[in-house]
Homo-oligomer: A and B are copies of this chain.
Amino acid sequence: MKQICTLRAAVAQITDCASIMIGGFVCCGMALRLIDALLEQGTKELTIISNDAGYPDKGVGKLVGANRIRKLIASYLGPNPDVGRKMNSGELLVELVPQGTLAERIRCGGAGLGGILTPTGIGTEVERGKQIITVDGKQYLVEMPLRADFSFVKAHVCDKMGNAFIAKSSKNFNVVMAMAARHTIVETDELVEPGALDPERVSVPGVFVKTIAWSNSHE
Contact = CB atoms under 8 A, between A and B. Distances in A.
A133 B140 CA distance: 15
A118 interface: yes
A168 B104 contact: no
Interface string A112-127: 1111111100000000
B118 A135 contact: no
Interface string A128-146: 0001010100101010110
Nearest to A111: B104
A105 to B, nearest CB: 12
Task: Report the copy number of this chain in the oligomer.
Answer: 2
Question: Chain A contact residues: over half helix, strand or loop, or mixed?
Answer: mixed
Given A133-B142, A135-B144, A144-B135, A119 B112 contact: yes
Contacts of A199: 168
A201 interface: yes
A115 B114 contact: no
A116 B119 contact: no
A219 interface: no
Given A114-B138, A116-B117, A167 B200 contact: yes
**Most B CB atoms within 10 A — which of A135, A145, A167?**
A135
Contacts of A200: 165, 167-168, 201
Contacts of A108: 116
B117 A115 contact: yes
A58 B115 CA distance: 38
Interface of A: 104, 108, 111-119, 131, 133, 135, 138, 140, 142, 144-145, 165, 167-168, 199-201
29 contacts: A104-B113, A112-B119, A113-B117, A113-B118, A113-B140, A114-B116, A114-B117, A114-B118, A114-B119, A114-B133, A114-B135, A114-B138, A114-B140, A115-B117, A115-B133, A115-B135, A115-B140, A116-B116, A116-B117, A117-B142, A133-B142, A135-B144, A135-B145, A165-B200, A167-B200, A168-B199, A168-B200, A200-B201, A201-B201
